[in-house]
């Protein structure tokens, strides 16, 4: 998975904005868990939208080609590759 360009990264930030915790923890595990929990509670569609954004795949490609666990791993991988905590900080600095 590749790091997103600035345009896609800010779009990703806008999708995740509602779900991003204030500060990341040391390992990042709680951070990711809080994002997923918030998505499940507030808007599950954001989970799919963010994976599509990070992978560049279509919904169809994702559903037919990958299992639920593989998709979850892609999500976590995408957050790590795109340094989500730093992206959150940047988005907040811009007051987006």
Partner 1 sequence: MRSSVINVGGREIEIPRARLRTWFELERIRRKIKEASERGEAATVSDLLCVYLSTASGESEDVFASAPWYETAIAFGLVSALNMSTVNFPLFRNTVSTGKEVPWNYEGRDWYEWVHVLALAYGWTLDVISELEIEDGIALLQEVLTDEQLDREWMWSMSENAYEYIPSSKKSKFRPLPRPAWMLPLPSAPMSVKIRKDMLPVGKVIDLANIVH
* 78 makes contact with partner 1 (CB under 8 A): no
Q: Is 77 in the site for partner 1 (CB under 8 A)?
A: no
Q: Is 85 in the site for partner 1 (CB under 8 A)?
A: no
Considering the complex, state which of residue 67 and residue 93 has its C-beta at the smaller distance from partner 1.
93
Greatest Cα pair distance, the chain, in angstroms, is 38
Shortest CB 14 distance to partner 1, Å: 5
Residue 32, SS3? helix
Q: Is 4 in the site for partner 1 (CB under 8 A)?
A: yes
Shortest reach from residue 90's CB to partner 1, in Å = 5
Closest approach, Cβ 83 to partner 1, in A, equals 6
**87 is written with which tokens?**
């992206």
- Asked whether position 20 contacts partner 1 by CB under 8 A, the answer is no
Dist. CA 81–CA 31, nearest whole Å: 15
What spatial distance separates the first Cα and last Cα of the chain, rounded to whole Å? 25
Helix (H) or strand (E) holding 69: helix 68-81
């Amino acid at each position: 998975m590749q790091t997103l360009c600035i345009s896609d990264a800010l779009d990703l930030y806008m999708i995740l904005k509602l779900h991003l915790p204030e500060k990341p923890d040391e390992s990042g595990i709680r951070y990711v868990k809080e994002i997923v929990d918030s998505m499940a509670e507030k808007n599950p569609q954001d989970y799919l939208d963010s994976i599509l954004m990070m992978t560049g795949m279509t919904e169809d490609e994702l559903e037919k080609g990958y299992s639920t666990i593989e998709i979850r791993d892609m999500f976590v991988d995408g957050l790590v590759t795109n340094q989500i905590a730093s992206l959150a900080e940047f988005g907040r600095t811009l007051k987006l």
